[in-house]
């Protein structure tokens, strides 16, 4: 039975990767942070399974800023594979807490690699959660493994250190360490403050009559959005490749934040039109088609029925999207679109879920949650 350590197991990707590795027969050791309230919501379904917890899934307290603990865990577990997914992962927040972001995202990676060296784990394979944010102010379109980097945030700069320290330890100490340069990937488990989930959750709350407006920042940014579980399978494939190499995982298709908004509202039966410009721009309800809302929900459920009636509160002409410049970033990444052909050729990896299906599955999940359980 292979053993894997996952840092960031309580995050979006950590939870999907855990499911994937357990299914492949791995013994999984997850590192969780001490928090003042429960932070295991995304893995509770595994945690609650008596055939899994402390049989094939083990949780350990730890933190990427605590070296002594990392050494102890490596000595005790002697893993075959390590997936370093833990990070302060929010780009906008990294402008507020740049030092902490660097401590975790840059030096945290170094601490782990150095612990591997200290403990003398010769055969371990290490996956680093690198990011398309390395490309930042893009130097070519689309971006591949060969595109020069130009990060545009403390997050991007910290991850750039992480990227290069992986390359350096691979070359200097022959450690099987790889960067997965992943473009944005989303899911119903995406954190609520990232733009996709913020939109699908707010649109659902607006339809349920629980929220009047959604405030957003830059609607023109373009991202290459894929479906998270497919990217987590890609992480595993990267470590199964015969040689330690770096790979871009992306769909190869980009859409604006505005398109994501339009499609989300369209899914729930609200057609939007845009009025005004820049900070005064507003998304206004043009047409409502309740039959679409009905199709998304289980109307046999009494609670859903109740909240469905509530949704009739929205009227034509309501401004449901407004701009709040507080969500603008000091330096923005305007366009990201990846070229995943290396992963396609060498790993047989390809993103399958199309943009419209991604939006649909995220809206459906949030509609069900909000209409049956509220916020």
- Residue from 4, 5, 13, 111 that binds ligand NAP (CB under 6 A)? 13
Question: Of all residues in this chain, which one has the CB nearest to ligand NAP in the complex?
Answer: 11
What is the C-alpha separation between 327 and 107, in angstroms, rounded?
28
Is residue 30 within the footprint of ligand NAP (CB under 6 A)?
no
Q: Which residues pair with 226 in a beta bridge?
A: 185
Note whether 128 and 180 are within 8 A (CB): yes
Is residue 193 within the footprint of ligand NAP (CB under 6 A)?
no
Name the phi and psi angles at 230, rounded to 5: -65, -35
Is residue 362 within the footprint of ligand NAP (CB under 6 A)?
no
Residue 332 falls in the annotated catalytic set: no
Is residue 37 within the footprint of ligand NAP (CB under 6 A)?
no
The residue behind tokens 């680093």 is: 128
Stretch that binds ligand NAP, among 4-12, 49-57, 205-213, 287-295 (CB under 6 A): 4-12
Residue 131 falls in the annotated catalytic set: yes
With CB under 5 to 8 Å by kind, the binding choice for 327 among ligand NAP, ligand F7E, none is ligand F7E
Q: Which residues pair with 181 in a beta bridge?
A: 130, 248
Residue 328 falls in the annotated catalytic set: no
Strand residue runs (E) in 246-304: 247-249, 255-256, 270-275, 282-288
The smaller minimum CB distance to ligand NAP, of residues 22 and 65, is found at: 65
- Residue from 20, 65, 284, 319 that binds ligand NAP (CB under 6 A)? 65
> Concatenated DSSP letters for 75-86?
HHH--SEEEE--
Binding mask 58-97 for ligand F7E (x = CB under 6 A): -------------------------------x-xx-----
Q: Tell whether the torsion through CA atoms of 154, 160, 161 and 163 is positive or negative.
A: positive
The smaller minimum CB distance to ligand F7E, of residues 245 and 332, is found at: 332
CA distances from 375 to 227, 269, 337 (A): 23, 20, 33
Torsion of Cα atoms, 343 then 160 then 149 then 278, to 10°? 100
Binding mask 121-140 for ligand NAP (x = CB under 6 A): --------x-x---------
Instruction: Tokens for 148, please give them.
Output: 């020069």
The smaller minimum CB distance to ligand F7E, of residues 49 and 324, is found at: 324
Is residue 195 within the footprint of ligand F7E (CB under 6 A)?
yes
Is residue 223 within the footprint of ligand F7E (CB under 6 A)?
yes
The residue behind tokens 């595994």 is: 46
What H or E segment, with its residue span, contains residue 359? helix 355-373
Considering only CA atoms, which of 57, 338, 82 is closest in space to residue 235? Answer: 82
Q: Under the rule (CB under 6 A), what is the footprint of ligand F7E?
A: 89, 91-92, 131-133, 183-184, 193-195, 198, 216-218, 221, 223, 257, 327, 329, 332-333
Q: Under the rule (CB under 6 A), what is the footprint of ligand NAP?
A: 7-8, 10-14, 33, 35, 39, 63-65, 85-89, 104, 129, 131, 182, 184-185, 191
């Amino acid at each position: 039975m292979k053993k894997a350590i996952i840092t960031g197991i309580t995050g979006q990707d950590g939870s999907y990767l855990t499911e994937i590795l357990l299914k492949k027969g791995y013994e999984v050791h997850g590192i969780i942070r001490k928090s003042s309230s429960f932070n295991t919501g995304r893995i509770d379904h595994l945690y609650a399974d008596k055939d899994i917890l402390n049989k094939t899934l083990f949780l350990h307290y730890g933190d990427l800023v605590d070296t002594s603990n990392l050494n102890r865990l490596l000595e005790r577990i002697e893993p075959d594979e390590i997936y370093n997914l833990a990070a302060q992962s929010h780009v906008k927040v990294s402008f507020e807490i740049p030092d902490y972001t660097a401590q975790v995202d840059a030096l945290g990676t170094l601490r782990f690699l150095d612990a591997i060296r200290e403990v003398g784990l010769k055969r371990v394979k290490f996956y680093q959660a690198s990011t398309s944010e390395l490309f930042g102010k893009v130097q070519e379109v689309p971006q591949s493994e060969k595109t020069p980097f130009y990060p545009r945030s403390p997050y991007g700069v910290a991850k750039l250190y992480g990227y290069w320290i992986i390359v350096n330890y691979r070359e200097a100490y022959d450690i099987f360490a790889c960067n997965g340069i992943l473009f944005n990937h989303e899911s119903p488990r995406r954190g609520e403050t990232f733009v996709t989930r913020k939109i699908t959750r707010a649109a659902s709350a607006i339809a349920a009559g629980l929220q009047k407006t959604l405030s957003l920042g830059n609607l023109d940014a373009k991202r290459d959005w894929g479906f998270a579980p497919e990217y987590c399978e890609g992480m595993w494939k990267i470590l199964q490749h015969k040689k330690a190499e770096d790979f871009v995982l992306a769909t190869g298709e980009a859409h604006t934040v505005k398109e994501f908004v339009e499609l989300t509202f369209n899914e729930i039966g609200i057609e939007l039109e845009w009025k005004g410009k820049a900070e005064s721009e507003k998304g206004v309800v043009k047409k409502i088609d309740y039959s679409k809302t009905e199709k998304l929900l289980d109307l046999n459920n009494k609670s859903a029925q109740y909240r469905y009636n509530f949704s009739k509160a929205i009227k034509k002409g309501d401004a449901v999207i407004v701009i709040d410049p507080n969500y603008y970033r000091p330096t923005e990444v305007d366009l990201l679109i990846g070229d995943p052909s290396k992963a396609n050729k060498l790993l047989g990896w390809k993103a399958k879920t199309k943009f419209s299906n991604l939006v649909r599955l995220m809206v459906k999940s949030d509609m069900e949650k909000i209409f049956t359980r509220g916020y």
